[in-house]
Structure 1
Amino acid sequence: MPATAFLVSYLCAGMLSIQLGTINPGNMGLIWLAAGIGLFTVLQLGKTGLIVVYLGSFAINTPYLFQGNWQPQIASILISGFTFAAIDTLQSYLAARAYQILSIHYGENMWRQPEVLPKIWFRVCFIPVMTTMPLFIALQITSGAIPVHLDSILIRGMILMLADSSGLILFTPLYPYLKSRTLTKEFLKPIYFLIMIPIPIIINYFILDRTLILLLPLMLYIAVRFKIAATNFSLLLITLMCIGLTAKGYGFVNPQNMIISLLQIQIFVFSITLALQYLAQTQTQIMHNQAYLEQEVKSRTDTLAKLNLELSILATTDELTQLNNRREWQSKAQAIFLNALRYQKNMSLMMIDVDHFKMINDQYGHLFGDQILKKIAHLCLINIRETDLVARWGGEEFVVLLPETTLEQAQIVADKIRRAIADNSFLAPKNQLMNTTVSLGITSLLKQDQTLDDLLSRADNAMYLAKANGRNCIQTDTPESAYLKIH
C-alpha cells in the first residue's frame, strides 16, 4: 500500500508538472515536482522506493517520446524511456543519500539551525541535479529532442536544472512532517493565508504588471508566524501559479521571448524560495532558542526556589531533631508573647532537660545519645497541640511554649511528656534495653513580665530546681505553688 500510494503521488506530481507548462521540443517541465516526491519515496521505502521512482518516471516520460512516425523507432524510444527513468532514479537516490548523511550528522538539530539549510540545498537539491542533468541533456541531444545549439542547450539546461532543483527545494523541508504524520496539520494552520496568496498573483497577471512584490508582506508574515512548513506550502502555491500562468501566455510577457520569460519567472520563484526558507528557518531557531531559554530559566528558578527552601529549613531547623532551632523558636515565641501580653491571655513555658545525659554519652557513645534526643523530640511533639511551639534549646535541653495555657494546665502537659519519656525503652548498644528520664521546669506569664526572657529565666531556674530535687520530676517557679514531685 505505501508503495502504491507513492507511485500514484509520483505520477500525479509528474503529470501536474507537465500540465503546468513545458518547453518543446523535448517536453521539458518548467517545475519538476516529481523530483521532490521521488526523494520522499526513496527515503520512506528504501530500495523499493527506487523501483517505484523508476516505474513512475518511465510511465510519465516515455509516452511523450512517441511522436511522428514512431513505429520504426519503437526500440530506441523504449531504450530512451528506460534511460530517462534510470537518470531520474539516480537523482532521487543521490538526493535521498545526501539527506540521510546530513540527518545522521546533525540529528534532531538538522531543521533547527539556519546554517545547515545551505548545506541541505547544496548537497540534497543541487549536487544530485548537477550530476544527472548533463546525462539528461546528452540523452535529449542524442534523441534529437533539443536542437544542437550552444545557446539553446545552455538556456534549456538552466531551465531544467532550476525545474528539478526547485522541486527538491520545495519538498525537502516537508519531509520531517511527512515522517511524523503532521503534514496535514501543518497545512491547515495557515489555510486562511494560503487562500489570500492568489490575489496578488492574479492582479499581476491580469490587471497590473510587476505587482508580485505585494506577496512579500504576506509571505514574511507566514514565515515568521508559521515557520518552515507553512512557508513551503505558500511557496509551492506561488511557484505553481506563476509558472503555470506564464507558460500559458498570461501576463505581460513577450510571446517572442517566451523561453526567456519562463526562465525569468523560474529565477524569481527560485530566489524567493531560498530567501523565505532561510527566514523561516531562522525564525524556527529563534523560537526554539527562546523556548529553551524559558525552560532553562524555569528550571533554574525552580532549583533556586528549592535551594532557598532548603536553606530556610537549615537556617530555622535543628538538624538532629528537625525541631525549630533556638533562633527560630525565639522569633515565633516573641510574637506569641507580645500577643498574650497585649490581650492579657494565659501563656505557659516549659524547659526540659535530659537526666544524666553526659553519662549516657560517655557510656554508650554520642550516636546513641543522638537517638535519644531525636526520640524525646518526637515524644514532645506528639504530646502537645499544633498551636504549641517546641524547639531544641541547646545540647540536651528543650523548650515548649504553650499559648492560652494556665500553670495548672501546663503541669498536666508536662506530666504527659515526662511519663511518655520515662515509659519509653531505648535499645542501647549490645542490645541492652534502658530508660531515661527528664526534669521539667514550668512557669506562666505574670503581669510584671516585660520580656520573654523573664519567663525563660524562671522556667530555667525551675528546671534546675527539679534536677536538684531528684530528677524525673516537674517543678514550678511560683512560690505559692506547692512543690510537685511525681515518681
Structure 2
Amino acid sequence: MNLAADRKEKTTEERRKIRVLVVDDNPATRELMRDVLEQEGQYEVTEAGDGVEALKKLHKLPYQLVISDVRMPEMDGITLLTNIRAIHADIPVIIATAFGNEVGLKALELGADDLVYMPFRIEEFKFRVARSLRFHQLLTTRETLLAENRELWGKAITDRLTGLYNRQYFEDVIDGEFARAKRYRIHLGCLMFDIDHFKLVNDDYGHLIGDVVLREIGQLVLQTVRRVDIAARYGGEEFVVILPETTPDGVKLVADRLRQNIEEFQFCEKTPPEGGKMRQVTVSIGASYYPDPNYATATELLRAADESLYEAKNSGRNRVVVAWEQKP
C-alpha cells in the first residue's frame, strides 16, 4: 500500500469539495445543516456562531457558499450579508429566516442569492444550495468567457448589444423557474416592458443613437435587478425580467424603481445626437405574479405580463400595470 499516494488522493478529494460556511447561533441548527450537506459527499462544512466569527473565518479561508441565520448575537445575518457583499461580492449567500417574507425581501434586495424558510424541509434545502451554486458557476463562467471571447459568448446566451440574456436563453430557463415555483409553492414575478415611442428615437436621431439607448437600457436594468433575477432582451425594444422569490409587493417595487430609473436617466450623454438635445426616454411595464390560480404554465404567466404591458401603453405609457390588480 502506497501511503504517500493515498494521502495525495485524499488531499485532492478534499480540494474538490465545496467549502460551505454555516452561520447560526443555534448549535442544533448548525449540526443539522452540516449533517444534511456532508451526507451528500461533495460539501465540506465549517460552522460559525454569529456574524463576527463568520467574517473572521471568511478572511482566513475562501468559501464557495455562506448560509446564515438572521437573528444572532454580536452581528445579525443582514449585517453579515452587507459586509460580505462589500468585501466578497461574488460569494453566494443563502439567508435562513423564520420571520417571513418581509425579512426575506429585504435580504434579497441587499444581495442574498436565495432564502431558506425555517424550519426547513431537507429536500428543498439541498435543492436551494445546489441551485445557488449552479447559478454562481454560470455567472463565473459567463464573466470568464466574456473576458476571453465576448463575441463567442454573446452568440451563446447574451444579447451583444444590451449585455442582457438573449431570448433563446430566457426561453431555456423560464419553464424550469416556473416549475420550481410551482413545485415548492414559492413566489415568482415577471416583468415585461418596452421603450415608449422607440420608433421616434430611431426616426429622429438614427439607428446608431437607438442602439446607444438600447445599450444604456440594458445597463440600467442590470443596475436595478438582483444577481438572481433573469433579465433578457425579448426582441427589438422589448425586455423581460423574471424575479425569483419575490412577493407581489416586491414585484411592484422593482417595476416602479426600474420605470423611475429609466425616466430620470440622461440618455446618450456621452454620445449626444446632432443638435445636442435628446428626447426623454420612458418605458411601460406590465407585471404578473405566481402563485396565481389563473396561471398553470410559464407561458400563461408571460402572457399576463404582456397583456398588462399592453394596458400600460394604452392608458398613457410611462407607467406600471400589474395583472393582479386588473378587473377580470
TM-score (norm 1): 0.35
Q: C-alpha separation between the residues in 1 aligned to 2:148 and 2:322?
A: 43
Q: Cα deviation per residue 1:283-313 (whole Å; 9 max; x = unaligned)? A: xxxxxxxxxxxxxxxxxxxxxxx99985344
Residue 460 of structure 1: how far off its partner (Å): 0.4
Q: C-alpha separation between the residues in 2 aligned to 1:307 and 1:436?
A: 34
Residue 403 of structure 1: how far off its partner (Å): 0.4
Residue 351 of structure 1: how far off its partner (Å): 0.3
Aligned partner letter, 1:471: R
Q: Show the 5 A alignment for 1:322-333.
A: 322-333=163-174
Tell me if 1:364 matches 2:205. Answer: yes
Percentage of identical aligned residues: 40
Structure 2 unaligned spans of 5+: 1-146
**Distance verdict in 2 for CA 1:352–1:480, change over 3 Å:** closer
Q: Show the 5 A alignment for 1:307-456.
A: 311-426=152-267, 427-445=272-290, 446-456=292-302
Contact 1:390–1:399, Cα closer than 8 Å, also in 2: yes
Aligned partner letter, 1:419: Q
Which protein has the bigger helix share? Answer: 1
Which protein has the bigger strand share? Answer: 2
Q: C-alpha separation between the residues in 2 aligned to 1:454 and 1:352?
A: 16
> Residue 338 of structure 1: SS of its match in structure 2?
helix
Contact 2:181–2:187, Cα closer than 8 Å, also in 1: yes
Structure 1 unaligned spans of 5+: 1-305, 483-487
Contact 2:163–2:219, Cα closer than 8 Å, also in 1: no
TM superposition outliers: structure 1 runs of 4+ over 4 Å: 306-310, 479-482
> Residue 275 of structure 2: SS of its match in structure 1?
helix
Give the structure 1 partner of residue 306 of structure 2: 460
Contact 2:154–2:160, Cα closer than 8 Å, also in 1: no
Q: Cα deviation per residue 1:287-340 (whole Å; 9 max; x = unaligned)? A: xxxxxxxxxxxxxxxxxxx99985344121112112110010121222211111
Residue 480 of structure 1: how far off its partner (Å): 5.3
Residue 479 of structure 1: how far off its partner (Å): 4.6
Give the structure 1 partner of residue 20 of structure 2: none
Give the structure 2 partner of residue 473 of structure 1: 319
* Structure showing greater Rg: 1
Contact 1:428–1:434, Cα closer than 8 Å, also in 2: no
Contact 1:425–1:434, Cα closer than 8 Å, also in 2: no
Q: CA RMSD in A?
A: 2.3
**Distance verdict in 2 for CA 1:379–1:481, change over 3 Å:** farther
Q: C-alpha separation between the residues in 2 aligned to 1:335 and 1:307?
A: 29
Q: C-alpha separation between the residues in 2 aligned to 1:418 and 1:448?
A: 26
Q: Cα deviation per residue 1:232-284 (whole Å; 9 max; x = unaligned)? A: xxxxxxxxxxxxxxxxxxxxxxxxxxxxxxxxxxxxxxxxxxxxxxxxxxxxx
> Residue 162 of structure 2: SS of its match in structure 1?
coil
Q: C-alpha separation between the residues in 1 aligned to 2:177 and 2:298?
A: 10
Residue 408 of structure 1: how far off its partner (Å): 1.7
Q: Show the 5 A alignment for 1:132-171.
A: none
Aligned partner letter, 1:436: V
Q: How many residues align?
A: 178
TM-score (norm 2): 0.51
Q: Show the 5 A alignment for 1:269-280.
A: none
Aligned partner letter, 1:478: W
Q: C-alpha separation between the residues in 1 aligned to 2:237 and 2:185?
A: 32
Residue 449 of structure 1: how far off its partner (Å): 2.3
**Distance verdict in 2 for CA 1:416–1:410, change over 3 Å:** same
Residue 432 of structure 1: how far off its partner (Å): 1.4
Aligned partner letter, 2:179: L
